Amino acid sequence: MAGNPTLFQAFEWNVPADEHHWQRLRNILPQLKAIGIDNLWLPPACKGNNFKGNGYDIYDLYDLGEFHQKGSRNTKWGSKEDLIALAAEARALAIGLYFDAVLNHRCGGDATQRVKVVQVDDRGTELGPLAQYEAYDSRKLIYNGAKRNITKPYDIEAWLAFFFPGRQGKYSAFRYNWSHFNASDYDNATGKKAIFKIVADGKDWQKDVDKASHGNYDYLLLNNLDYSNGNLREEVKRWGQWVVQELGLSGFRLDAVKHFSQGFVNEWVNAVNAGSQKDLFYVGEHWTDNTKSLVRCPPTCWGKLPDLVLARRLYAYGTQTDYFESKNCIGWVRSGASEGSKQSGLAIVMSWQQKHPPSGKGVAAMDRIRQAFQKSNQAEPPSRDMKTSNATISQQPKPPSPRIRMRVGHEHAGQTWRDLLGWEWADVIIDSEGFGVFPCQPNSLAVFTATDAEGREKFPVNFSHNIYEKA
């Protein structure tokens, strides 16, 4: 595996439903490779009940945009042919693909079946089952009372027969029926929306799912798969092996992993690994309510995310030494390794002073200031606190920038280190003991390496952030 491997999420919830996303990703692969992206997390590529949706309402595992089902041949992301072309280009560039596998449920059955159920309590939620699916990104709306039955057993008509008429048995002849599920969310006979636990043949919730603080988490939404069924387990394992070979995958992201059998997850991973010629990567989505807080940061780092990814790939090697003594300004040093750009090392400083970070316009203004400074050959660089007009730059009184004294190593003595991002304009001279005083503009970030470090000519990174321009 390449040094400092980096995974890139290659979609988001509101990507246009224009069936061109696979083409856009293929077009941008060389740029992603150039900045150090090694793997792409692909969206769910299987046909969903709504072909304009993101695929989490999964209908057919084997339909990757190949069969005319649910109103369309293609998925929201494009055709299977486009996906295969993307996979081939990624393979040529040594970029791995991680598949978002939705194994918890199914949606959009082809026919109804009568099945005996009990309705369970869903009063622990703000939304009902189908409404919760529409607010899918709010996973806190979990069915707290899903273990308490509130009716006696009775029959409903649920959409639990799946025979995939558009595919006609290609790749797999397996058909789903009520025995492959343990819950549904809709009674077609009455039009009622609720959580219906199937009790025919003694069915119950799976026991080896996350329990957390809300009881049994087996049910999430739609038609809940029952992995106590041996035939279902074998079919889903076969699909895992098939899709790895079909697309040359390097790994999987398992959706909603806390909501289905952990025993089956282990069984499935072992089976897929056994059918693959390479080591695969796995990560499971597991939302929990015991994390105290999440730190939010600008998703593109004011346009510098490609520079940060490339800097990590080139220079973030060797022992790390942290300088975390101050709560308002922290830093760390990577000492470097023994080959090529890896030996250069890296020093990072971050500051935070309870003010808002610069906007895109602010960064553009700072770029104009820097250009003016470079043209004027001033002895000292201007600060971010300078104000600009059409023709003048005036110095404003300001406190000194945050700074940290850090040791990068005696082997770097006498070198000049400079910020790769271009936000901190003061150079740092490394002293005879290997120390430097590294500054950072308030509420910002600076990434320093030697001015003669291998690969510095690649900065700033020229990266097209708008992939829709080439659709």
Q: What is the pLDDT of residues 382-419, one digit of tens each?
A: 443 333 333 233 334 455 678 999 999 999 999 999 99
The residues facing 154 across adjacent strands are 117
Residue in 202, 200, 186 with CA at minimum distance from that of residue 105: 186
Choosing from 285, 427, 431, 454, the catalytic residue is 285
Is 285 an active-site residue?
Answer: yes
Measured distance CA(309)–CA(418) in Å, rounded:
17
Residue 341 has pLDDT above 70, yes or no: no
Q: Which of 15-19, 39-43, 139-143 has the lowest mean pLDDT?
A: 139-143
CA torsion sign for 220, 226, 231, 234 is positive
pLDDT tens, position by position, 265-292: 888 998 999 898 888 988 887 776 544 3
Choosing from 255, 307, 419, 424, the catalytic residue is 255
Residue 67 pLDDT? 97
pLDDT tens, position by position, 45-81: 999 999 899 999 999 999 999 999 999 999 999 999 9
Residue 399 pLDDT? 56
Measured distance CA(465)–CA(303) in Å, rounded:
8
- Per cent of the chain over pLDDT 90 is 57
Residue 2 pLDDT? 55
Q: What is the mean pLDDT of the chain?
A: 81
Type of residue found at 47 = K
Helix H or strand E encompassing 376:
helix 360-376
Contacts of the segment 236-241: beta carbons below 8 A, 24+ positions apart: 236/61, 236/103, 236/264, 236/268, 237/267, 237/268, 237/271, 237/272, 238/172, 239/61, 239/62, 239/172, 240/101, 240/268, 240/271, 240/272, 240/275, 241/271, 241/272, 241/274, 241/275, 241/276
- 438 versus 288: which is more confidently predicted? 438
Measured distance CA(25)–CA(83) in Å, rounded:
10
pLDDT tens, position by position, 312-337: 999 999 999 999 998 889 999 998 88
Mean pLDDT over 16-39 rounds to: 94
pLDDT tens, position by position, 360-377: 444 444 444 344 434 433
pLDDT tens, position by position, 118-161: 998 876 443 334 333 333 333 333 444 446 888 999 999 999 99
The residues facing 69 across adjacent strands are 72
pLDDT tens, position by position, 191-239: 999 999 999 999 988 887 776 544 567 888 899 999 999 999 999 999 9
The number of residues making up the chain comes to: 471
Measured distance CA(393)–CA(398) in Å, rounded:
15
Q: Cα torsion for 287, 289, 291, 294, to the nearest 10°?
A: 70
Q: Do the beta carbons of residue 117 and residue 184 sit within 8 Å?
A: yes
Is 235 an active-site residue?
Answer: no
Predicted TM-score (pTM) of the model is: 0.71
Residue 112 pLDDT? 97
